[in-house]
Structure formats: C-alpha cells, structure tokens
Amino acid sequence: MPDFNLLVTLDVLLSEGSVAGAARRLQLSPSAMSRALSRLREVTGDPLLVRAGRSLVPTPRALELRSQVGALVDGANAVLRPAEKLDLAKLERRFTLRTSEGFVETFGPDLLQRLRREAPNVVLQFVAKPDKASAPLREGEVDIETGVVDLTTAPEMRALPLFEDRWVGVVRDGHALAQGKVTAERYAGAGHVQVLRRGLHSADIDDAVRDAGLERPIAMIVHGFSAALALARETELVATVPERHTAGLRKGMRTFGLPLDVHAFTVSMLWHPRMDGDLAHRWLRGHIRSVCVAKRQQGNDPLQS
C-alpha cells in the first residue's frame, strides 16, 4: 500500500529545495527528513535532490513531478477540508462552458447580468462544441456542457433539462418564404444551406422531407448554425436551425415553423458527478437553469404559420 504522506513530504521538499527547510516547515527533525528523502528516492527510483555546492538542486524527474505533486496535495487538502460557506462577493473562479453556437448569444447577456450582480469576480469562458464527446467533462477540461442527451452521452454524467426546442426555417427579410403560408412544397422547393455536425444535424429534416414525398436541394453545407444563418441573411438560401437555441442569432430575420412532421428535442445541462457538491458549481448551475426558464417564459419572436 503506497504511503500517501510521502506526497506531502515530496511537495515540501521540492518547494523548499532544502532538507533543513522542509524539516522546519513540517516540524520534523533533520534526521527524520533525511530518512523521508531516502524513502522517496527508493520509491521513485530517482535521487530527486542532488548536491550542487552547498545547496541541493532538483533532478529532471523532480522538476517533472513538481506540478503533479502540488496538484495532488491541493486536491487531497480540498477533499479533507470541511465545506465552507460560499462567499459570492469574494469568489474568484473561471468556469468553462462547452456549448453549441447560439447559446451564448441567446442566454449569455442575461446570465452575465445575474452573475455580475452576485459574484463580480467570476469569469465564464465559452468554448466551441464540435462533437458530443464526454471526455472534456470527464477529464475536467470543461465544467458544464449543454446539448441533447442521447446514447452517445456517457452514462455517469448528470443531466438537467433546460428547455424544449424545435427546428425552424429562417430566411432574410424580403425572401419569398417571408410572405404567405409556408407549405411543405414551398419549403422543399427553395435552396437550402445544410448544417452538418456530429450529434445534432439536419438528418431529421431530410427524413421528414422524404416522408412527405419531396426533396430539398442543398446548395451549401456548413458545420455550424452561425455560418448557416449568415448565409441565409445575405442570400436566397433557407437555414434550418433550433428555434430557442439560436434566438440571439436570428435577430432581423424571418422565422417560420416547419410544415413537416419533425420531433422536438430537449436541450439539457450536463456535468460530471464529481462536481455535485461543489457549492460554486451548484450556484452557477442554478443560474443557467433559471436564465433558460426565464427565456422560455418570455417566449421568442412569433412564428409565421
């Protein structure tokens, strides 16, 4: 069984660079610290600290271990430390959120306003979501992710529904589909920009068009909602995107409900279970949830039938 106390000893030795200094800091005798260093050398198979004149210098292996050991000791201390009351006014933390395009434009302003009011030193970093891999959450690269839970989602992940969404058609103001009733024939007969990305794509739309005995011509294929809407804004193409998710990207454009039988879907918030008890993480989750609920209650622009 490994002696985890050696991690603390190694962390202090590498920090002090001196047996005597480490002994004072850990309140041990120099001889006891020397024995601990000998034990560490035996366990790691490396001298770790070697004499250079009157001082000790770390070996390459010791330098490699320094950051790893420090992180391990800090993590162990955090685990064993009683949970403190969350002081939002003094909270300094950066949270990384992995979301699809449109989420930050739609929900970011309200979320920022709420967070700045309670915790002005908290920073939100939004990163792109090119796929649905769970590794970023599992490995701690990402704090929270939003998306549709399906069979590709790691089973251990926590998930909380945020809002129901549906696919809608979007065109520039002045487009032919901006006038009159949009039928399946009119929709399918227009030129389209297709959004193709892992985990959320327009295959459901193509299936629904085929089920109606029609076919939609694809003029361009892109890998994001922003690109699709930018093209639709400047051309005669139709973009088909999630309604609520892209509300912040569709301003000034005309939106209509699809005249097809396409199922709605639920966008959820996902996080790793190790963050369940983290008070700051729990606080942020609550605000993300409340912002999405508030937006849902406000509703989006009325849809053209």
Same domain, 48 and 89: no
In terms of residue numbers, what domain contains 65? Answer: 5-80
3-state secondary structure of 167: strand
Same domain, 293 and 251: yes
Which of 14, 47, 80 is the endpoint of a domain? 80
Same domain, 191 and 300: yes
Rounded to 10 degrees, what is the CA torsion of 103, 109, 114, 118?
Answer: 110
Same domain, 68 and 205: no
- pTM tops 0.75: no
What integer pLDDT is reported at residue 179 of this predicted model?
92
* DSSP for residue 199: T
What integer pLDDT is reported at residue 82 of this predicted model?
58
What integer pLDDT is reported at residue 67 of this predicted model?
67
What integer pLDDT is reported at residue 285 of this predicted model?
96
Residue 256: which H helix or E strand, with range? Answer: strand 254-257
Closest CA to 289 of 111, 105, 96: 111
Same domain, 68 and 158: no
CATH code for the domain of 216: 3.40.190.290
Closest CA to 188 of 221, 210, 166, 220: 210
Same domain, 21 and 35: yes
Which of 30, 60, 80 is the endpoint of a domain? 80
Which DSSP string corresponds to 200-217? S-THHHHHHHHHTT--PP
Residues 255 and 243: beta-carbon distance below 8 Å: yes
pLDDT < 70 stretches in the chain: 1-2, 67, 77-84, 197-202, 296-305
Closest CA to 238 of 284, 304, 297: 304
* DSSP for residue 137: H
Closest CA to 192 of 258, 265, 264, 102: 258
Rounded to 10 degrees, what is the CA torsion of 148, 150, 153, 158?
Answer: 70
Q: Which residues pair with 239 in a beta bridge?
A: 170, 193
Question: How many domains does the chain contain in total?
Answer: 2
